[in-house]
A = this chain, B = another copy of it.
Amino acid sequence: MREQGLAAYIIPGNDPHASEYMAAHWFEMQWISGFNGETGTVVVTLDQAFLWTDSRYYLQAGIELKDSTIELMRESDLDCPSITDWLCAHVQGFVGVNPEMFSVNTFKDWKNQLSEAGIGMKSLDLIKPLWTEGRPAIPQDKLYPYSEDYAGESVQSKLTRIREILKVKCPNGQYALLVSALDEIAWLFNIRGYDVEFNPVVISYAVLEADRCTLFVNESKLDSAGRNYLEFNDITIQPYEAVFDYIRGLRGTVLYDGARVNEALFEAISPEAKAQHLPSPVIAEKAKKNAVELEGERIAMRRDAAALTRFFHWLEEEAFLQPVTECDLMDKLHSFRAMQENFVEESFGTIAGYRGNGAIVHYAATPDKCAEVKPEGMLLLDSGGQYLDGTTDITRTVWLGGDIPAQAKRDYTYVLKGHIALATVRFPRGTRGNQLDALAKQFMWEAGITYGHGTGHGVGHFLGCHEAPQNVRTDNNPTPLELGHIISDEPGIYRTGEWGIRTENLLAVIPAPATEAATTNDEWYAFETLTLCFYDTSLIDFSLMTPAEIAWLNAYHQRVYDEVSPLLSADDAAYLAKKCTKL
């Protein structure tokens, strides 16, 4: 830093692809700090160091930073300054960052904010020359073609559609679209890989032009099948690191999504080209699942439900024959999923939160630190699978035994009523998720209860379990819900030290017919519930339920039984029948 004239250097917990889940190669923040949480930013000055992280990680960071000189900055606290505010108040001169780890937008925001205090930003990578020993390599696993039988659309068709969108923006055809998010590249080229846990993606960059497209990926990832597939589809292959030189050579309009593309790519754009921000059309098209993708989801859901049914049956009848921990439950559930056809891996780390642990929203039990589970009290189980034909994500909360407190039933029922209200709403085209969010909260709000997490996130198709741009949150997300979008529906109630309750299904946006009573020509949408697993009806306070809600539950349970029982043994099917008994 002194050689470079820097007053501070920033190490954010990011990778160059704006990924939520990252390859270990990019755990720079964790490497320098010793803090192993997923979210955090380290600020190093000439005589101090700080870690900003949010309230989910206060406890963990406190423990992991105990013997270090790094000071914890609790960024969820109202009186905690933002990193830029802190820098403006405490440093002068220049702040260094690795531009690969910042989106164009974030870099620009920081630059503007710091410039108000006369601070400059310098792009440079101080970690690479330091972290040489023990740094994990970028994964070298082979990529593989993703069959059109699952994808439902050929690469050529996708490229043509995206090019049509780009041609409207640049009628002269002199454009190049930078694509750096790994799920976008996987979708666009119908490829998958093993580079990031829970995410079947391939570490790479792509550039799409009117007359060619280029995938920047390490040679080591290509076997002959992969190479043939790409060549057959006229996708030019270049080394991963060659993307910067390639961008330098581009002329005409270079399109980038400022929220996704990293600053280093942006800085490589030649002054002779015209850099122009464009919300990624690949993200928007990817989110609208086609008929084949939706049908794949439906089929994967049946298998996922079969695994869950077997798990819950085991949990009721066998689990407690010997001591069992939250981690044992996670392993057992994984084993049931792993027996299913087309299962590849989990879609995220299972959350098995027993009693008070269920109230810790991002709880992750580890073998050395997990609770013993007994046949009494509440268990929250949030899990999902990556199947070749679809991605699942489901939360069920069940009562393991003993008397159920009245408040537990009320909490479960408020959550269930909100979950049903969202699942059953009809809405006109153009409606955004944030307009629907309160439907899932209205009943608990009446009781003075709310929750801080989103009600629904987008879900990819054999891709990220969290997918932009659609969601159901309080935030002002301008994206309307579109046909083929998949979102989760997961309201929750969390009582510290007592229990966490969350109920989650995945929903697809489908057309709803206009009614006879319609007064306008609006196009109407509704949700199709994709997830197929019974609810624990012992937790329902029936005095709070309407006849319409009971009818919905009965119809859903009937459907669950009809679709899932054919995949089960007679014994498991009988268990499921009992769970789906008409109320």
Binding site for B on A (CB under 8 A): 407, 410-411, 421, 425-428, 430-432, 434-439, 442, 445-452, 474, 476, 478, 493-496, 512, 514-520, 522, 524, 546
CA distance A439 to B427 in the complex (A): 12
Most buried by B among A426, A434, A438, A524: A438
Contact of A514 among B427, B448, B512, B524 (CB under 8 A): B448
Query: Would you give 5 A-B contacts (Cβ < 8 Å), ordered by A?
Result: A428-B445, A434-B435, A435-B435, A450-B519, A451-B519
Q: Is B520 touching A450 in the complex (CB atoms < 8 A)?
A: yes
Q: Is A517 touching B439 in the complex (CB atoms < 8 A)?
A: no
Q: Whose C-beta in chain B lies nearest to the C-beta of A474? A: B435
Q: Is B519 touching A407 in the complex (CB atoms < 8 A)?
A: no
Whether A518 contacts B448 in the complex (CB less than 8 A), given A435-B435, A437-B435, comes out as: yes
Whether A517 contacts B407 in the complex (CB less than 8 A), given A434-B435, A435-B434, A437-B435, comes out as: yes
Contact of A445 among B426, B430, B452 (CB under 8 A): B426
Q: Is A494 touching B519 in the complex (CB atoms < 8 A)?
A: yes
Q: Is A427 touching B445 in the complex (CB atoms < 8 A)?
A: yes
CA distance A273 to B522 in the complex (A): 51
Residues of the B chain whose Cβ atoms lie less than 8 Å from the Cβ of A428: 445, 450
Residues of the B chain whose Cβ atoms lie less than 8 Å from the Cβ of A411: 517
Whether A449 contacts B410 in the complex (CB less than 8 A), given A435-B474, A437-B435, A439-B442, comes out as: no
Residues of the B chain whose Cβ atoms lie less than 8 Å from the Cβ of A425: 438, 442, 445-446
Q: Is B476 touching A517 in the complex (CB atoms < 8 A)?
A: no
Q: Whose C-beta in chain B lies nearest to the C-beta of A546? A: B546
Whether A426 contacts B446 in the complex (CB less than 8 A), given A474-B431, A517-B410, comes out as: yes
CA distance A83 to B190 in the complex (A): 42
Q: Whose C-beta in chain B lies nearest to the C-beta of A498? A: B519
A70 to chain B: closest CB distance in Å?
Answer: 29
Q: Whose C-beta in chain B lies nearest to the C-beta of A439? A: B438
Residues of the B chain whose Cβ atoms lie less than 8 Å from the Cβ of A436: 438
Q: How many copies does the complex hold?
A: 2
Contact of A517 among B431, B448, B524 (CB under 8 A): B448
Residues of the B chain whose Cβ atoms lie less than 8 Å from the Cβ of A450: 428, 519-520, 522
Q: Whose C-beta in chain B lies nearest to the C-beta of A494? A: B519
Contact of A518 among B434, B449, B476, B512 (CB under 8 A): B449
Contact of A438 among B435, B446, B495 (CB under 8 A): B435
CA distance A427 to B493 in the complex (A): 15
Given A426-B446, A427-B445, 16 more pairs with CB closer than 8 A: A407-B517, A411-B517, A427-B438, A431-B438, A434-B435, A435-B474, A438-B439, A439-B439, A448-B514, A448-B516, A448-B517, A449-B517, A449-B518, A449-B520, A452-B520, A476-B478
A210 to chain B: closest CB distance in Å?
Answer: 21
A441 to chain B: closest CB distance in Å?
Answer: 8
CA distance A447 to B514 in the complex (A): 9
Residues of the B chain whose Cβ atoms lie less than 8 Å from the Cβ of A449: 515, 517-520
Q: Whose C-beta in chain B lies nearest to the C-beta of A438? A: B435
Most buried by B among A431, A474, A517, A518: A517
Top 5 nearest A-B pairs by Cβ distance?
A: A448-B515, A476-B476, A448-B518, A447-B517, A435-B438
CA distance A515 to B444 in the complex (A): 11
CA distance A564 to B377 in the complex (A): 54
A142 to chain B: closest CB distance in Å?
Answer: 44
